[in-house]
Amino acid sequence: MSAEADIKPNHCYHDAMTAAPIDLNTLRKALAQLSEAITFWQERAEGDPLKPHLRSSVIQSFEFSYELSVRAARRVLIERAESADLVRDLSFNDLIRRAMDAGFPMSLDAWRRWRDLRNGTSHAYDEERAQAVALGALAFAEEAHKLLAHLHVMTAPSPDTTPAPGDA
């Protein structure tokens, strides 16, 4: 069965009474903070004593935004799948492939690269690595905003499932 056949936009297969609505506000706020941190970091001149601290803020915001992005993508796929357990247990690579098959604006190579950067943030005290992670966060932020927009569409109430006024 193809991903298109078992993942449908605006359709939740789980009991609405047991599944909490997908709230993307935390991801939206995290991405806004990442974008702001990137702007502040880029605005500072080389040699400015605040620049390394702002880069650290970019790295920390990237870590949080990356984790939330992957979790949100998985959650939307789970909520839209006929077999949630299959999606829940997918490896990272299979999750991204499934998301791509379902039309999510994701690239396996890019998300693998960002995962590697995320996994390397514990070593971001190394100047060269810290710079690489922060620069990677620039491309990540742009793609994560596209993913967020797509997730908003996927989680928006479907016109055919929204009760008309007075029907409730």
CATH superfamily name and code, 22-155? Nucleotidyltransferases  domain 2 (1.20.120.330)
Domain boundaries, given as residue ranges, for the chain: 22-155
Helix (H) or strand (E) holding 142: helix 127-155
Instruction: Give the Cα separation of 80 and 39 in Å (integer).
Output: 35
Q: What is the pLDDT of residue 108?
A: 97
CA distances to 69, 113, 138, 164 from 141, in Å: 10, 13, 5, 38
- Cα(118)–Cα(123) distance, integer angstroms: 10
Q: pTM here?
A: 0.81
CA angle 12–88–156, rounded 5-degree value:
30
Per-residue pLDDT of the chain (168 residues; tens, 9 = 90+): 344 434 444 444 444 334 567 899 999 999 999 999 999 999 999 999 999 999 999 999 999 999 999 999 999 999 988 788 889 999 999 999 999 999 999 999 999 999 999 998 876 578 888 999 999 999 999 999 999 999 999 888 766 655 555 554
